[in-house]
């Protein structure tokens, strides 16, 4: 079965599906995240994250800039 990457617009408490798909990709780890398991994202950067670990890693990198 071919999985398709979804395109989303992230909002503060939800997201809109722009293009239907099965998953999105974590901006830090490049791991696939099933839409039903998507819990972490950044509205300003419009990025999805696999877990809190990746969120913290991204925040640390942003603070160093």
Mean pLDDT of 1-30: 95
Domain definitions of the chain by residue range: 7-64
Cβ–Cβ < 8 Å for 23, 35 = yes
User: Which positions ≥6 away from 9 have C-beta within 8 Å?
Assistant: 15, 16, 18, 46
pLDDT, mean over the chain: 95
> Which pLDDT band, with edges at 50, 70 and 90, does 4 fall under?
very high
pLDDT of residue 1: 55
Cβ-based neighbour number of residue 10 at 10 Å: 18
Per-residue pLDDT of 15-24, as tens digits, reads 999 999 999 9
């Amino acid at each position: 079965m071919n999985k398709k990457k979804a395109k989303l617009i992230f909002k503060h408490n939800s997201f809109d599906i722009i293009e239907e798909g099965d998953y999105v990709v974590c901006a830090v780890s490049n791991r696939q995240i099933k839409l039903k398991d998507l819990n972490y994202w950044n509205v300003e950067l419009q990025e999805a994250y696999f877990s809190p670990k990746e969120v913290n890693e991204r925040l640390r990198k942003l603070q160093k800039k």
